[in-house]
Amino acid sequence: MLVVRPIKQSDYDALNVCAEESGYGFTSLPVNEELLKNRINHSIESFAKKDVQEREGEGYLMVAFDSETCEVAGTTGIESSVGWDIPAYNYHIGNVVHVSHELGIKNTVKTLTLGNNYTGCTEICTLFLRPNFRGGLNGKLMSKCRFLFMKEHEERFSRLVIAEMRGVSNAEGKSPFWQWLQENFFSIDFTQADYLMGIGKKGFVADLMPKLPIYVNLLSKEAQAVIGQVHQKTVPALKLLEKEGFTCRGYVDIFDAGPTVECDIRNISSIRNSFRARVEIGEHASTENYLIANTSCEDFRAVAQPASYNKETQTVVVSKDAADALQVNAGEFVRMLSI
């Protein structure tokens, strides 16, 4: 059974393995010891924080581990409020209309405008499942457990929730979109730019990125073709978020042009459809699977397991193994979601 919990300092080696395996374009997990350890420490402080009346960029990083082998299977995370300490850049796809009534000509041209429109929003991020653990309910567990945590602790998060999806790049880490930017405005390749963004050194963006809107039809055909498209490995994650109610409103990443999707926290399907139930521990014959999470913040746990839910009494029977994994006792509450 996979169990999701907050990351610990002892998870550094496993987190570094995830960073190495995630590959190019996975900006939130750069292979950098100092940054990864800082992120672990920041997450521990965020989970332990009691007063969250003013969000100050807390980061909640979680890992999933195999309950039998204790091997870490992947990561998933939430940033409470992006863009305050380090600017959060994006491009917005817009239109400019050129009209000549005298000649009877009207042309609509797409543009990319640099901005920081998502500053202050909550971001779900760092979703990575190692290859050996992909399949079954593991992907849904890693993605949806964040929403159960957010529902239980809504005061920690913003109204608007976003997710930056990895854009198109090849096996060598080359992005067609970045290739055009590199040739015209930068002198560093995509992997170096991606790494600098990952470790928080974003000053070069403000220094070198064109400030005026870019006309899309001036880009190479290869660059135009990938605007708003996702990496093939990101397609399943995007589909899950679209089912949750997330949609792209024209914002894309400044490096690989991958889409940013957004949803009002109140309209996220897993948040709207989740519910609380009182725990009973015992054997049951139910085969219906649920995503189940405890209601703790600092000691958060989540699993995807069969359970027997009684709607009338608002109770749920879970196995002893599941209760132990969730660190809950009989009579305590859990938050659930049918999957």
Active site residues: 231
Half-sphere exposure for 60 (CA within 13 Å, toward CB) = 26
Which residues does 169 contact at the CB level (< 8 Å), separation at least 6? 24, 25, 175, 190, 231, 256
| DSSP for residue 258 | P
Strand partners, 275: 336
Half-sphere exposure for 272 (CA within 13 Å, toward CB) = 10
- Shortest CA distance to 120 belongs to which of 149, 82, 64, 76? 82
| DSSP for residue 257 | -
**Residue 162 near residue 123 (C-beta atoms within 8 A):** yes
**Residue 17 near residue 88 (C-beta atoms within 8 A):** no
- Beta strands in 40-156, from DSSP E residues, in sequence order: 59-66, 72-79, 90-100, 105-115, 122-129
Q: Which two tokens mark 5?
A: 């919990």
Phi first, then psi: what are they for 78, rounded to 5°? -140, 135
Give the separation between CA 72 and CA 314, rounded to whole angstroms: 33
- Beta strands in 271-329, from DSSP E residues, in sequence order: 275-281, 289-294, 302-306, 308-310, 315-318
Question: Residue 149: helix, strand or coil by DSSP?
Answer: helix
Residue recorded with tokens 């989970």 = 47
Residue recorded with tokens 């009691």 = 50
